[in-house]
Amino acid sequence: MADPRFDAVVVGSGPNGLAAAIVFAGAGKSVNVLEAESIVGGGARSDALTLPGFIHDICSSVLPLAHASPFFRTLSLGDYGLTYEHPAIPLAHPLDDGSAAVLDRSVDVTATGLGGDGAAYRRLMQPIVRHADMLTRQFLGPPRPSVHFVTLARFGIPALRSAAALAAGRFRTAHARALFSGLGAHSMLSLRRPATASFGLVLAAAGHAYGWPFARGGSQRVADALAAMLRSRGGTIATDRRVDSMSQVLDARVVLFDLTPRQVLPIASGQWPDGFSRQLQRFRYGPGVFKVDWALDGPIPWRADACRGAGTVHVGGAFDEVVAAEDAVAAGQVAERPFVILAQPTVADPTRAPAGKHVGWAYCHVPNGSTVDMRERIEAQVERFAPGFTSRILARHVMTPADIERHNANNVGGDINGGIADLRQLFIRPTARLYATPNRRLYLCSASTPPGGGVHGMCGYFAARKALQRARWS
């Protein structure tokens, strides 16, 4: 091979790809990012999906892991235009009696709102939040079993339990059980599956320690800030450059793919033994999502006051209903009353809509690749807890799992987590090699590697470090 033009080429400009490129640039290496779309961002893009002046986050929107990310926190992204806006309340979960369970920034305030379960909540969460920085560094990283399990034992964190078992075993009130089951449902698994409790614990701790903020002006600002920092360090980015074969990246000493195994295989399968390709082919994708964005002529008229100030609202009713909805998806069906994750960014960031107007979005989980139209069911769930909601809709934009995959090929079948994160693939993803491949020139850095989905950049950070340590530079 002729002397390469770049030390590294990164294929894909999602937060992980940009993070990987920044690591290389920071190490004094030349790096070029190739992005198939016309703008950078991957899962962190924003656009006027409905009406002029209404800015919607197309995929990632609520950013607890971005704000908590050990790597992002070392970067001065504020110097490149990134500002986080925190809602008054990170999360609320309304119930049919007009009340709501609330995740406040304060553990004590949250516990007080849970009544008879307040003491149990404090015992569960205070040790985690007290050591949030250390735990975040450990959980947002590659698997280190001795570290993970010592930490779990030390703090008594039942992270390997199912979310349903933890909620039912630790709590007695409807509010506490609903709150934790909704947090666990971010796993996109049946809440009866082992380790789904870990999602609830990590997200609750992040809410207390770091908040669940939005990026002012839209999640695109995260990607734009990362891209600007990369360029300031000498890195380059080329958009509208879809990579279909290795012949397009011959000008690099190493190549990092911010792609899932399904996209990597057609490009690079001839670069390593067939056995490794078979391992990548066995990588499993999880449920998809069906998403609706709204332009609204006013705030959502929630019956529960707490929901009106919450950036995120879990719309799914009581514990049993949330569990049943996620069980249906795990069984390959859709729920008549789906569990809905809803965000209302304009409660914290009014720049996203004209004066007096609002934006909102919601999605529910569906089987991978589902073609069932869930819009009416999603809106019925919101109307159930916010009577008059539908009358405030000025315009809507619907994304099916197929639409979500067309927007970002990494979202296979609508799976926004880069692959199912069950116990088998929670830490070991996509293979036991994690970021590495049998070819010292090629690496994986997408959400299909540890620590998985979310806007945090840690997959790219660790992949780049692995490549810098392992690749042959002479």
> Given this model, what pLDDT does residue 135 score?
81
pLDDT, averaged per 10 consecutive residues of the chain (474 residues), comes to: 82 98 97 96 96 96 94 96 97 98 98 97 93 83 62 63 95 98 97 94 95 97 98 97 94 96 95 96 98 98 98 97 98 97 98 97 98 98 98 98 96 97 90 96 97 95 96 68
What gap in Å lies between CA 167 and CA 200, rounded to an integer? 10
pTM given for the model: 0.94
Q: In this structure, is residue 274 part of a structural domain? A: yes
Residue 205 falls within a domain, yes or no? no
Output the DSSP codes for 236-290.
EEESS----SGGGGTTEEEEEE-S-HHHHHHHHGGGS-HHHHHHHHT-----EEE
Any domain includes 459: yes
Given this model, what pLDDT does residue 416 score? 97
What does the pLDDT read at residue 148? 53
Q: Cα separation of 179 and 364, whole Å?
A: 17
What one-character-per-residue DSSP string does 100-153 give? EEEE-SSHHHHHHHTGGGHHHHHHHHHHHHHTHHHHHHHHSSS--HHHHHHHHH
CA distances from 246 to 49, 149, 203, 277, 393 (A): 35, 40, 38, 15, 47
Residue at 434 is within a domain: yes
Residue 304 lies in a domain: no
Q: What are phi and psi of 312, to 5 degrees?
A: -125, 140
| Three-state DSSP class for residue 325 | helix
The count of residues in the chain is 474
Q: Which of 53, 96, 49, 63 is nearest to 291 (CA)?
A: 49
Residue 221 lies in a domain: yes
Q: What is the reported pLDDT for 147? A: 53
**In this structure, what token pair is assigned to residue 161?**
């339990």
Tokens 């990310």 correspond to what residue?
A: 69
Single-letter amino acid, residue 125: M
Cβ pair 182, 322 in contact under 8 A: yes
pLDDT of residue 137: 82
In a domain, 276, yes or no: yes
Give pLDDT tens digits for 309-354: 999 999 999 999 999 999 999 999 999 999 999 999 999 999 999 9
In a domain, 463, yes or no: yes
- CATH number of the CATH domain containing 35: 3.50.50.60
Q: Which long-range contacts (CB under 8 A, 24 or more apart) does 56-60 make?
A: 56/218, 56/293, 56/352, 56/359, 56/361, 56/397, 57/218, 57/219, 57/220, 57/343, 57/345, 57/361, 58/399, 58/407, 59/219, 59/404, 59/407, 59/408, 59/411, 59/416, 60/219, 60/416, 60/454, 60/455
pLDDT at 155: 53
pLDDT in tens, 210-263: 999 999 999 999 999 999 999 999 999 999 999 999 999 988 999 999 999 999
Residue-number span of the structural domain to which 252 is assigned: 6-46+58-83+215-283+417-470
Contacts of 97 (CB under 8 A, 6+ apart): none
pLDDT computed for residue 144 by the predictor: 66
CA-wise closest residue to 162 among 198, 111, 124, 133: 198
Total of domains in the chain: 1
- Tell me: the pLDDT tens digits for 258-280? 999 999 999 999 999 999 999 99
Please state, in angstroms and rounded to a whole number, the distance separating the CA atoms of residues 13 and 222: 12
